[in-house]
Chains A and B, each alone.
Chain A
Amino acid sequence: MPVDVMIVDDSAAIRKILHRVLLQADVPLGQVIEAGDGVEALEKLKTAKVGLILSDINMPNMDGLALLGALKSQESTRDVPVIMVTTEGSSSRVMEAVNLGASGYVRKPFTAEQIKEKLAGLL
């Protein structure tokens, strides 16, 4: 069954790259929804249901860790796996994301294969 995926990143370039990787990946992909920050993501998730979220950390308005916290505190999104795709590579940031409930962590720059590996484990 196709899975809808949300990409959250303030860079349109990264959203485009991740969208392309999703299309190339061997996963049952449904609709791909894009958001530029955590606020926009939460707004879109009021009406859209997704099976996976790929999110940046450093974003304006609401960053990826705040978004992750909000998603895990809501009944409707608590069980949606979230993969952080970010330049934030320090072990403290990785641990923070894992403690908040992130299902995966990919450091930028990334290869398509790294993203596909994470997807394969979750979809």
Chain B
Amino acid sequence: MTHEKLVSFIRSSTRDVFTTMLGLEIADGQPFIKEEAPAPSDGVLALIGLAGRWAGSGTFSCTAPMAMRLASQLLMQPYEAINEEVLDAVGEITNMVLGNVKTALEEELGPMGLSIPTVIYGRNFTTRSIGRSKWTVVPFYLDSEVIEVHLCIAPSKDPGAARIHREHPAAVLSIE
């Protein structure tokens, strides 16, 4: 699975979710590869796991004001603070973006399972991955503010794995 293909799947899925569910047009940023999972120093980050013959993790991250804007667009009501509804909305956007990436990946990599999203909101947190795989980072811009989708996927050591294994790339958070 190439970086270019992953970028294409992520762009297509993210655009589809933003136009269909949020009524927003996003602009593509320059994708890149990173050895470690980068994280915003603050804001909202949602994590999701993929498991199967290939396994990995994906994240969706943005600033807190952007999370409120996305939730407002999705639920058609204003949000002026991060609350459970905003975090749930970001989790669901992540689920749709990475769920559709997973469906595209399954065409080539076989069936995969998708975990329930975990959403984190805070300041000065960092992420790191267990494992050595590279992360494909795909930025998008909405009115000059950045939204990032990260994906790290690698062949599973246990081809029969039906659940996410500790040895597969996974994101771990430490809040300072």
Contacts from A to B (Cβ < 8 Å): 10-14, 16-17, 20, 58-60, 86-90, 92, 107-111
Residue from A11, A16, A60, A87 whose CB has the most chain B CB atoms within 10 Å:
A87
Given A11-B88, A109-B17, CB of A92 within 8 Å of CB of B96? no
| Known contacts A88-B99, A109-B17, then 8 further A-B pairs from the complex at CB < 8 Å, ordered by chain A residue | A10-B116, A12-B88, A13-B75, A58-B99, A60-B116, A92-B111, A109-B96, A109-B100
Cβ of B21 within 8 Å of any chain A Cβ, yes or no, is: yes
Bound: A109/B99 CA distance, A: 10
Bound: A10/B95 CA distance, A: 11
Nearest A-chain residue to B77, judged by Cβ: A16
- Name 19 interchain pairs, CB-CB below 8 A, sorted by A: A12-B85, A12-B88, A13-B85, A13-B88, A13-B89, A13-B91, A13-B92, A16-B75, A58-B95, A59-B116, A87-B99, A88-B103, A89-B103, A90-B106, A90-B107, A108-B99, A109-B21, A110-B20, A111-B20
Q: Which residues of A contact B74 (CB under 8 A)?
A: 13, 17
Q: 7 nearest interchain CB pairs?
A: A87-B99, A109-B20, A89-B103, A11-B92, A109-B21, A13-B89, A13-B92
Q: Which residues of A contact B92 (CB under 8 A)?
A: 11, 13-14
Bound: A90/B84 CA distance, A: 30
Q: Which residues of B contact A111 (CB under 8 A)?
A: 20
Bound: A104/B99 CA distance, A: 19
Q: Which residues of A contact B99 (CB under 8 A)?
A: 58, 86-89, 108
Grouping DSSP codes into helix (H, G, I), strand (E, B) and loop, the B interface class, with mixed when no group exceeds half, is: helix
Q: Which residues of B contact A14 (CB under 8 A)?
A: 92
Say yes or no: A13 contacts B71, CB within 8 Å.
yes
Say yes or no: B96 contacts A90, CB within 8 Å.
no
Nearest B-chain residue to A56, judged by Cβ: B95
Interface size class of B (residues with CB under 8 A): 20 to 34
Other-chain residue from B91, B95, B107 in contact with A87 (beta carbon distance below 8 A): B95
Nearest B-chain residue to A92, judged by Cβ: B111
Cβ of B114 within 8 Å of any chain A Cβ, yes or no, is: yes
Nearest B-chain residue to A59, judged by Cβ: B116
Bound: A62/B120 CA distance, A: 24
Bound: A109/B96 CA distance, A: 6
Say yes or no: B100 contacts A89, CB within 8 Å.
yes
Cβ of B148 within 8 Å of any chain A Cβ, yes or no, is: no
Other-chain residue from A20, A60, A108 in contact with B96 (beta carbon distance below 8 A): A108
Least Cβ–Cβ distance between B120 and chain A, in angstroms = 17
Bound: A11/B96 CA distance, A: 11
Given A88-B103, A109-B20, A111-B20, CB of A11 within 8 Å of CB of B85? no
